[in-house]
Amino acid sequence: MNLRITSVFLTFLGTVGVSQGEDFISSTEDLAQSLDDVFNVEELSAYGLQCLNGDLAKVPFAEDPFEAVIGLLENYCDEDEALTFESALEKYEQCSGYDVAEFIETFWSALVGMGMKCLGYGYQMSKLLDDFPNLPEMPLPRIPDECATSFLGHNPFGNFLRYHSTQPEKEMKCLAQLNQDLPYCTLRRWPIPIVGEILKFFACFSSKLEDVYSEYCNRELKVMSGCLPPLAEMENANDQQCQKWLNQCTVDLTETGNMPSINMFLPPPLSSAPIADICKGTAVDDSLKDIPNHYEAFQNACFTDEDVEFWTEATTKEESASNGERNMRSRTLLSNQ
């Protein structure tokens, strides 16, 4: 139910797993492929084609694609377009709760930082999962705070991933509006200019993924409905009971060749993430409407307070406010130049 988090985690494991040989790489790829099977590739391709507009759509057919890309990047905004661009970004931040421009500008350095802080954990996990899908135990070892906060903390990258994972339904509406509001030009920013055409494509494509998320939600909730215990059994649950239920939803399923619950397969604190808003909405099958509350009861019964509180909205909002203050100071400095 947290597609972005799942993708980041599996990609990272696959990368560090190079040191453990092809068996581990192929196993993580198999799991990722199983996720891909939930989605309709042709449908995703159709969304992509619908969102190709402007000069970006001309690049594949240009006589010199490289020159076409350069022209696309260097199509800088004039003064009026820049104001429109800035207004669209601010409107999106008000809608979504995070600054997409700050995310873009810090993206590459954030990836390097995540690699540095998570390399040790990734190497440990690659050895642990060397014999995947034969898992030694669940839950998987907890992600150290330094690593977890590097990609889910209260920073531009973490704010984006948190919001993108837990509130996709709300965000898709914000992205659809961003696509409509953005001009096609490139906004001058340091250190990375923001290419309007590329951002518009991302916003358009991501805003059309409601069916993709819905299919994922229904698949995940159906797995949970078959392996979680009745709510009454979760009252005053002990460690042994929690371990049993976790195994039922993960290793017991993989041993029979079935897909486990992806949420419960992820290590803490990823597994304690709130259920995505779209998985609680009208897109979910009627027979599965109660499962999100069921899983949240399991989280409260079996996860530590530290892991559950890692996702608290109050903490996220507090940090987001400080980010917003820094952005306002930056804009003031720019306007005075």
For 257, the token pair is 């060749």
H helices of 17-141, in order, are 22-38, 41-51, 65-73, 79-96, 100-128
Report pLDDT for 134: 62
Report pLDDT for 12: 47
Report pLDDT for 14: 46
What pTM was computed for the model?
0.75
* 336 half-sphere exposure, CB direction, 13 A CA radius: 6
Measured CA angle at 303 (ends 274, 111), to 5 deg: 60
> Domain spans of the chain?
3-335
pLDDT in tens, 45-65: 665 667 887 778 788 778 888
| Cβ–Cβ < 8 Å for 291, 224 | yes
**In order along the chain (337 residues), what is the average pLDDT of each group of 10 residues?**
54 44 42 50 61 80 87 94 97 92 92 94 83 68 92 90 89 94 94 93 90 90 94 90 93 86 91 91 89 93 91 51 45 42
| Cβ–Cβ < 8 Å for 50, 208 | yes
